[in-house]
């Protein structure tokens, strides 16, 4: 009995690896959201692999969104500011769930409102269905009060990829810039 207690004590006395204390939902090892191939607002095709070495934050939204999308993009701008000297290691990617209205010019102007380095992807309807399925996000066109007016319901969180291009975190909408910046700093340190 004393021997068993000694073995247990030695197990608890060992130094353990630094615990991951992410504020966001830890998706490490998830078998989805591995990549995409979409055209961004300047007309060039990009994939997640193009951003290896950076933390990539992906958000699905639309430019006509009255609240969730501009709030999230403003938070991502603040995250970049909070990263200080590591700001250049962050790439924010906005994927439009409304390619019907989100033209390349509109997407470019929208990104400039938040940060000129942020990229907006404009998938075709077929590409959007495929990438939404691959990322397990929801989006749906919702008719407005008048013909031709509509809004889009959509998943409101962010997907965070580490510098090796692996999905690591899911940030819930409204969690704030500071917690996400802390999580990104952990990922940059190899967590």
Report pLDDT digits (tens) over 146-187. 888 899 999 999 999 999 999 999 999 989 999 999 999 999
The number of folded domains in the chain is 1
pTM: 0.87
In a domain, 9, yes or no: no
Tens digit of each residue's pLDDT (9 = 90 or more) over 33-70: 988 999 888 888 999 999 999 999 999 999 999 999 99
Q: Which two tokens stand for residue 106?
A: 């509109």
Domain that holds residue 141: 20-188
In a domain, 12, yes or no: no
Lowest mean pLDDT among 4-13, 17-26, 65-74: 4-13
In a domain, 1, yes or no: no
In a domain, 5, yes or no: no
In a domain, 4, yes or no: no
Percent of the chain with pLDDT over 70: 90
Domain CATH for 52: 3.40.30.10
Q: Which two tokens stand for residue 92?
A: 């924010």
Task: Name the nearest CA neighbour of 79 among 107, 57, 111.
Answer: 57
C-beta separation of 72 from 111 below 8 A: no
Lowest mean pLDDT among 11-25, 88-102, 177-191: 11-25
- Tell me, what's the pLDDT at 58? 98
- Tell me, what's the pLDDT at 1? 44
In a domain, 8, yes or no: no
- Tell me, what's the pLDDT at 18? 46
In a domain, 3, yes or no: no
Question: Would you say residue 85 has pLDDT above 70?
Answer: yes
Task: Name the nearest CA neighbour of 22 among 187, 139, 147, 158.
Answer: 187
8/65: higher pLDDT: 65
What is the C-alpha separation between 147 and 76, in angstroms, rounded? 34
What is the C-alpha separation between 179 and 158, in angstroms, rounded? 13
In a domain, 27, yes or no: yes
Question: Would you say residue 104 has pLDDT above 90?
Answer: yes
């Amino acid at each position: 009995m004393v021997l068993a207690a000694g073995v247990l004590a030695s197990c608890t006395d060992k130094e353990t690896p630094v615990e991951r204390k992410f504020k966001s939902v830890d998706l490490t090892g998830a078998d989805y959201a591995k990549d995409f191939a979409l055209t961004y607002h300047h007309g060039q095709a990009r994939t997640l692999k193009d951003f290896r070495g950076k933390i990539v934050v992906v958000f699905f939204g639309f430019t006509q969104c009255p609240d969730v999308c501009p709030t999230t993009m403003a938070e991502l701008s603040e995250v970049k500011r909070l990263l200080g000297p590591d700001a250049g290691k962050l790439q924010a990617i906005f994927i439009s769930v409304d390619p019907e209205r989100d033209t390349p010019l509109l997407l470019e102007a929208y990104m400039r409102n938040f940060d000129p380095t942020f990229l907006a992807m404009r998938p075709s309807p077929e590409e959007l269905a495929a990438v939404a399925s691959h990322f397990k996000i929801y989006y749906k066109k919702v008719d407005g009060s008048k013909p031709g007016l509509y809004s889009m319901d959509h998943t409101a969180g962010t997907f965070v990829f580490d510098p090796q291009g692996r999905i690591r975190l899911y940030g819930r909408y409204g969690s704030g810039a500071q917690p996400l910046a802390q999580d990104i700093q952990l990922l940059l340190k190899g967590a």
